[in-house]
Amino acid sequence: MADEDGTDHPSQESFELEDFGPTDFEAMSLEEWEEAFDPDTWVTGPELLDRVESELRHRIASRDVFAVIERITNDDELCLLAYSDEGYALVRPSGAVEGFGTVLRDVKPTVALSSIPEYEPDPAEADLGILPDPAVIDASQGDFGNKILQAVSLALAIGGIVLIGGWIFLDVPGLGAVFGFGFLLAAGFLLFTVANARLSQRYRAEAYRERLRSVGLGEGKRPEFLPEDESGRTR
C-alpha cells in the first residue's frame, strides 16, 4: 500500500501467518515494526500480554522453549517477563520487546504472532508451561527400554552358559561352544549398552536439575541480570 506521495508501506498481507518465524521477524523494517504494533491495526495492551503468555506456556510445556514466566511492573507498566539461565525477554503492553539471549529470540516471533488479531493462541491451563522443581527430576524415567535389554542379555547369558556347559560336560559338538561364547559376547555388549545409557540418563538429569536451579527453582537463585520489579511482586 502507498501514500499519496508514492511511499510504500507494508501491509498485514505482507506476512504469511503460518510461515512467520524468527528470520522473518529480523527482516522487518522500522516501518513494518511500527505498523505491526499500531494499536489500531494489531492486538496490544493487556490482551497482547495474555496471548503471548498463553502461547509461551504451550511452547514451554512441549519443551520447545526453556523459560520461567512472570508478570512484573517495570517503568510503571505491567509487563510479561520470560527468562532462562541464558537471558531474558521483557514484553511491554505496546508490543515492544527487550532483553538478550535465546529467550529473546524465541519470544520475538511469539509476540509478532500473538499481535495478529486473526491468530488464536491455545488457551493455557493453570499448570501448563511451569518448569518442574529440580527435586522431582528422576533419572530413571524412560528406563523401560533398558529393562528390556537387560532381560534379553540375561537370556543370552543363560543360553551361552548352557551351551558351553553342554560342550564341557555332555560332549556336545564344538559348534555349540562357539554359539555359547557368541551368546556371552552379545550379552556383555547389551549390558555395556544399558550401563552407558543409564550413565547418560543420570548426566542429562543432573544437567537439567542444575539448569532449573540456575533460574531460581528449588534451592537455586534467580539470575542477577533480570530487570527489577518496581512493585516488589512477581507472579
What is the structure's pLDDT at 50? Answer: 92
Sign for the CA dihedral angle at 194, 198, 201, 203 comes to negative
Predicted confidence (pLDDT) per residue in 92-114, tens digit:
998 899 999 999 999 999 998 89
Report the C-alpha gap between 112 and 118 in whole angstroms: 12
Label residue 12 left, alpha or beta by phi (over 0 means left) and psi (-120 to 50 means alpha): alpha
Give CA–CA dist 72/235, Å, rounded: 7
In the chain, where are the structural domains located?
12-131, 144-212
Question: What's the half-sphere exposure (Cβ side, CA atoms, 13 Å) at 59?
Answer: 20
Cross-strand pairs, 68: 83
For 159-214, how does the pLDDT look when each residue is reduced to its tens digit (9 = 90+)? 888 888 888 777 767 777 788 888 899 989 988 888 888 888 888 888 888 888 88
- Whether 79 shows a pLDDT value over 90: the answer reads yes
Q: Which has the higher per-residue pLDDT, 171 or 217?
A: 217
Q: Would the pTM of this model clear 0.85, i.e. be above it? A: no
Q: Greater confidence, 88 or 143?
A: 88
Cβ proximity of 105 and 96 under 8 Å: no
* Higher pLDDT, residue 121 or 47: 47
Secondary structure of 112-174 in HEC code, one letter for each residue: HHHCCCCCCCCCCCCCCCCCCCHHHCCCCCCCHHHHHHHHHHHHHHHHHHHHHHHHHHCCCCH
Least confident of 60-64, 134-138, 208-212: 134-138
* Contact present, 235 and 70 (Cβ < 8 Å): yes
pLDDT digits (tens, 9 = 90+) for 13-61: 444 545 555 566 666 666 666 665 555 678 889 999 999 999 999 888 8
